[in-house]
Amino acid sequence: AQKVTQAQTEISVVEKEDVTLDCVYETRDTTYYLFWYKQPPSGELVFLIRRNSFDEQNEISGRYSWNFQKSTSSFNFTITASQVVDSAVYFCALSEAGDSSYKLIFGSGTRLLVRP
């Protein structure tokens, strides 16, 4: 069965600190897709990144970086030099290629609080 685990319920850091949000997934599919979404205090869900299982290159986008490791079934998200605007709930999600619904399986989310 597919599952996404975000063990960190809440993280609090001081501005300019680096922070890593963990995501561990379970799937029996050999081809799958991993996602991160951001939910700021305003409530909307913002798509951040998609990673395909056959592409293990890590990705960097500005202060954001993602570390995909198939060997440990992890897709961790790092924010470098955090800012107050990064305060949000972050969700990791999984979609399996064998699932014709294209549905996303979400983790329970990690609430990040960045203090000034």
Q: Which is nearer to another protein, 16 or 98 (CB)?
A: 98
DSSP character at residue 11: E
Per CB under 8 A, does 103 bind another protein?
Answer: yes
User: x/- string (CB under 8 A) for another protein, residues 49-78?
Assistant: -x----------------------------
- Closest CB 44 distance from another protein, rounded Å: 5
DSSP 66-115: EEEEGGGTEEEEEESS--GGG-EEEEEEEEETT-TT---EE---EEEEEE
